[in-house]
């Protein structure tokens, strides 16, 4: 199979999405979290009630709070403890929103872009993006919860296409297998006309998810983006390249452009110390990813 011969996109995903009778509805739990985030009177107890409605999500929240990089010396024995003593209201709300948004979607098995690969990349990227955000200067540092959510859902376009257009998604994976040396976004443009960041951002926009998340999703492969909320895609881009060293994710390579480091005002050594710290908790993160993929 030679994608170079494809001058026009093989498939037109945007047109196919436009022809759908209706786009997937936002999952009910995600709607509840969105409503809670808009309520100025919302309390930790309100959030705990939502999280505890889903035992799997509750387990993920507690496991994440127990990760070594939070250095909590007590025992995380409840969602209440995870929220009030370790992670905080915003962090758990965004973790819950991300998991509730993506989990209902399913991908074919035995392909490169499978569900296990998606969740492993998502969980590690979320943890690393959040950790990197804490290293930024006060004037550009984003809220930790939103940084986490950007890392968690920036590849949402993959599961959207795989869920809605299974046949087309399988064709994409055949191209990936046939041309492993080619960058994923280039293959996506040849096959679909668009890359996964753009595709995922369309549905996020329809669902009225936070603009910061939409920008992170749409622009994380665009190192030249310096518009509104640029810190989010820049953090995700840095995270993706750092994780490539550990064979996690779909970044084109592990090289970190100096311009990216300058935009974030962070040093190369500093960034690599952060990823080393996150990878110390890799066992717990891997467990989270496996449970979400199952």
What CA–CA distances, in Å, run from 270 to 25, 236, 245, 273? 41, 16, 16, 5
Is residue 5 very low, low, confident or very high in pLDDT (cuts 50, 70, 90)?
Answer: very low
pLDDT higher than threshold 70 for residue 10: no
Q: Taking the C-alpha atoms of 12, 182, 236 and 227 in order, what is their torsion angle to the nearest 10 degrees? A: -60
Does residue 144 lie within any of the structural domains? Answer: yes
pLDDT digits (tens, 9 = 90+) for 79-118: 999 999 999 999 999 999 999 999 888 898 899 999 999 9
Q: Which of 108, 26, 103, 28 is nearest to 60 (CA)?
A: 103
pLDDT higher than threshold 60 for residue 4: no
Q: Give mean pLDDT, residues 118-144.
A: 96
Does residue 164 lie within any of the structural domains? Answer: yes
Q: Which of 210, 257, 215 is nearest to 233 (CA)?
A: 215
Does residue 246 lie within any of the structural domains? Answer: yes
H/E stretch holding 60:
helix 55-65
Q: Average per-residue pLDDT in the chain?
A: 90
Q: Which domain holds residue 125?
A: 3-24+105-293
Does residue 147 lie within any of the structural domains? Answer: yes
pLDDT higher than threshold 80 for residue 2: no
Does residue 254 lie within any of the structural domains? Answer: yes
- Tell me what pLDDT residue 279 has: 92
- Tell me what pLDDT residue 229 has: 97
pLDDT digits (tens, 9 = 90+) for 147-190: 999 999 999 999 998 988 888 899 999 999 999 999 999 999 88
pTM as predicted: 0.90
At 160, is the secondary structure helix, strand, or coil? helix
Does residue 83 lie within any of the structural domains? Answer: no
Is residue 6 very low, low, confident or very high in pLDDT (cuts 50, 70, 90)?
Answer: very low
- Structure token pair of residue 95: 């973790």
pLDDT digits (tens, 9 = 90+) for 253-280: 889 999 999 999 999 999 999 999 999 8
Burial 259-274 (b: 16+ CB within 10 A, else e): ebbebbebeeeebeeb
Where do runs of H (alpha helix) occur along 179-281?
184-192, 196-206, 211-219, 231-244, 258-264, 268-279
What CA–CA distances, in Å, run from 211 to 39, 91, 93, 214? 18, 17, 16, 5
- Tell me what pLDDT residue 228 has: 96
pLDDT higher than threshold 80 for residue 48: yes
User: Is the four-CA dihedral 128, 105, 222, 22 of positive or negative sign?
Assistant: negative
- The number of residues in the chain equals 294
Total number of domains in the chain: 1
Does residue 88 lie within any of the structural domains? Answer: no
Q: Give mean pLDDT, residues 37-50.
A: 93
CATH no. for residue 14?
1.10.3210.10
Q: What percent of the chain has pLDDT over 90?
A: 68
- Tell me what pLDDT residue 3 has: 42
pLDDT higher than threshold 80 for residue 283: yes
Does residue 30 lie within any of the structural domains? Answer: no
At 96, is the secondary structure helix, strand, or coil? helix
């Amino acid at each position: 199979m030679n994608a170079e011969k494809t001058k026009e996109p093989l498939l037109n995903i945007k047109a196919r999405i436009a022809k759908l009778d209706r786009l997937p509805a936002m999952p009910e739990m995600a709607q509840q979290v969105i409503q809670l985030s808009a309520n100025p009177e919302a309390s930790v107890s309100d959030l705990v009630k939502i999280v505890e409605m889903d035992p799997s999500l509750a387990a993920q929240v507690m496991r994440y709070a127990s990760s070594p990089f939070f250095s909590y010396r007590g025992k995380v024995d409840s969602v209440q403890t995870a929220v009030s003593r370790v992670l905080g209201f915003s962090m758990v709300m965004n973790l819950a929103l991300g998991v509730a948004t993506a989990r209902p979607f399913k991908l074919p098995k035995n392909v490169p872009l499978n569900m296990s690969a998606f969740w492993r990349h998502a969980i590690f990227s979320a943890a690393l993006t959040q950790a990197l955000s804490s290293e930024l200067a006060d004037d550009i540092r984003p809220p930790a919860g939103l940084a986490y959510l950007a890392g968690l859902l920036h590849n949402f376009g993959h599961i959207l296409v795989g869920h809605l257009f299974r046949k087309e998604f399988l064709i994409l994976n055949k191209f990936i297998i046939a041309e492993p040396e080619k960058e994923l976004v280039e293959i996506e443009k040849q096959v679909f006309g668009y890359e996964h960041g753009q595709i995922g951002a369309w549905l996020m926009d329809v669902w009225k998810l936070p603009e910061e998340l939409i920008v992170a999703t749409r622009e994380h492969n665009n190192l030249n983006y310096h518009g509104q909320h640029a810190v989010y895609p820049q953090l995700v881009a840095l995270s993706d390249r750092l994780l490539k060293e550990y064979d996690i994710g779909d970044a084109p390579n592990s090289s970190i452009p100096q311009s990216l480091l300058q935009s974030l005002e962070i040093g190369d050594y500093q960034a690599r110390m952060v990823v080393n710290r996150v990878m110390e908790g890799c066992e717990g993160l891997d467990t989270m990813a496996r449970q979400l993929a199952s």
